[in-house]
Structure 1
Amino acid sequence: MAEKQSGLTSLTSRKLSRRDVLQLGGAAIVSAAAASMVGWAPKRYAPAVVSSEVKLGLMNTLTGAGSIHAPSVLNCAKLAVDEINASGGVLGSRVFLEIEDNHTDVDISIQKATKLVKDTKVAAMIDMSFSNQRIAVATQVAEPLKAIYISPVFYEGGICGRYFFNTGAIANQNIETMVPWAGKEFGKRFYLIGSDYAWGRGSAAAAKKAIDANGFELAGEEYAPLGQTEWSAIIQRMADAGANFGFLWIAGNDLVTFLKQFIDFGLKDKVRLGFTYMSEEVTPSLPPENRAGLLASTSYLMSLDTPQNKEFLDRFTASFGKDQVVTAFGEATYDSVYLWKLACEKAGTFETEAVVNALEGMSFPDAPQGPIRIDPVTHNSTLREIVGESTEDPIKFNILADLGMIDPVWPDCVVPKA
């Protein structure tokens, strides 16, 4: 972008269609979403606090292409809420978790988010979703209805609004750090593969800039639609290109399908694969002899060896059992609930504008990954960045690099004040 954007400040006058959301990248959509708000005063929907109970919304991919993510997100949200209620709630009110299935679908996400804000009157929403859903909810629900909307998912960037907060990594944290590390470790020829929507294309665009900046080579790039079942042609082209490192952004259940076919090609020891999405929910789907060696650039892994994380995992296991896992999405959901709680307590109210102001700059020192903080300028978060390598044990990753806590960098975003 040539100019800094102050929130959602250059909308078109028409409502974004589902086709628009699917086809446009994040930054393009957000910059196309606010002109219709100029001079318009939307109705505000006050959070419902009834009989000392406050409602917190959780939208989750319980069904659809993102269903693989749902269990960890749900469990971590429940754990945070249970802990908060056991310690007295928030401002003397018990937190009630209102759960909606967004079906990994754009239109349904808009419907469910609108329901949570207008009908259920939640104090805030946390949303596990894909980028196309997130963009739609941010532009068509959260900003016009002035509703707090927290995403626990790393993404390509592009949403710069007053009511949107992100506790997942952006490109400078999990892509721009991974490219120089992987190039040094495995070779300079990169092959990029992404799901064909905002996350895949936006992430690959950031990787291409990092590849060029580090003097490496782009051996090729590919994009596949959500629901892709046949990956052999793409895998063969990657092999033929002589790639040293494949950097992938394949969404949800599609990644499991890709990995099984990649292993069948016998390329696992020839082309190293790295992901911003590779976690303990993916590796169990692979045969034990083929689980090892997959690289994750992420803010959290269960194998993170710190007292804080060990204590968190003890509490999680006590609540949900040893067969349940915590993913980066789940950990960020846990953090999001606590950040909202702390902001409400700082504000002394559940009133939206006061809580938004309190969220800006809010820290959660007890996050399992380490002390995180919301950047008051961009509403993204300071997060840990680690590189982990999977092992034959489905929930154990070897931590190859711990880069510490990294601030978000997004020069083109300055969120507006009230």
Structure 2
Amino acid sequence: MKKLEINFESVSKRIKLGANVMEKKVMNVNVNVGGRKMEAAYLCKHLGLSIADNEMGHIHIYIFLLASQAIPLCSVNSSDPSNSLAPSRTSIHQAQKNASHSLPQHHQGLIHLGRSTAKDFSGEVLLADALSYIAHHHFRHCSLVVAFDGAFAESLVLRAMIKLPHNKQVIEVQAPGNFSGTLWTSFQCRGYIFLFRDAHSILSFTDEADDPWDYRGKYVFAGLTKKELETIIKTKKGRNTEHITGFVKEKDTDEWKMYMNQLYWGEGMTLVNRWRHRGFTSDGEIFPVKTWDLRGAPIILYTFHFEPHVIFNAPGKRPHGRDIKMADTLAEVLNFTLVIKKSPDGEFWGYPDANGSWNGMNGKLQRREGHFGITNSFITSNDNCLAAIDFSRFYYCDQSCFMTRIEPPVPKWQSLLAPFALSTWIVTLISLLVISPIVYFLANGPTTE
């Protein structure tokens, strides 16, 4: 059991108001769960609370912390603190909420907290501190999406995230469908803080390839186990996302371990840092760029014979050609090992069936059997191709056009007739033959006096 001791002390303060000096009683509230203490400004800042500082009509409050266990009592109003030494129900509402006990209405009291309750509260304070640090230092100019499940609905962690000054969207997730209203695009950089104790909803959502997702965003998970995080990075969305990190509480300590996905660097989540009382224990990069140096990772290329772009001279031999040279250049610059595989003969780029499943090279990419394909590919939306694969920026520009034979020059003796078609000349001659007699008759017919 943890013993919580709360002391209320009446103190006389001399306050200067203009030329007058008056004596006023204020109240100090000391909250102890042992010997180690944390200054009030530090704790209240991360809990989104404020502290009254020697102002008339306010109770001056101090906060102490043992083993990172705290009871926040900040900015308490009192119309006349000299009339009573006991705090009001309103003034200690936050302490009641966190400790789940009624505080004593006298100057000193003893309250016993269960071990798990104290540890949970301690962990929430540290986690809120860690996430606030990341938001201020790594998401400073980013918009935020904060998603949480019911386990975090009343937590100090969620409260701290809501207090962040960023442009943000806050979503409570009870089922995978609750993600449908999430804004996955932004003109700013994008940060995602996901607070989940139950991994079911987020696992179901990340394993659906058709749902929207920000693959270039930076994701921070809290509340899940390392095993659950490793399951997320194997889902259809997770395995193609560059930045996925997660905080996991160290058992029986006040420490949070931070893990990071490796994308192409390796399997699973790797430990990159630890958050203790005041900060990270090392200066390691939390969101390193993982696509500039792939550290020799094997990257699978699918292609097929299509001269002069890709040429397979003989079975078992490495192909060559213009597009193979481009792939070799990428492997050298990005430091990956190129593994070339041939797509089925005769299927070329591929065609979709009625269900939108492709065969050929595009089918291999759609089913994630290869990382990229290259063979004189055109950026096109034909057959709804963009729903199956993504295109890089083009590195070669080709043009299509129509060609026709130029007619030879017209002989000079035909130059008068050439401007008009034969049918025009025939109609003209017929008109002359018909109109000429009529004009002659009208000109030479009988006249009347």
With normalisation by structure 1, the TM-score equals 0.36
User: Which has the larger share of helix?
Assistant: 1
Structure with the greater alpha carbon radius of gyration: 2
With normalisation by structure 2, the TM-score equals 0.34
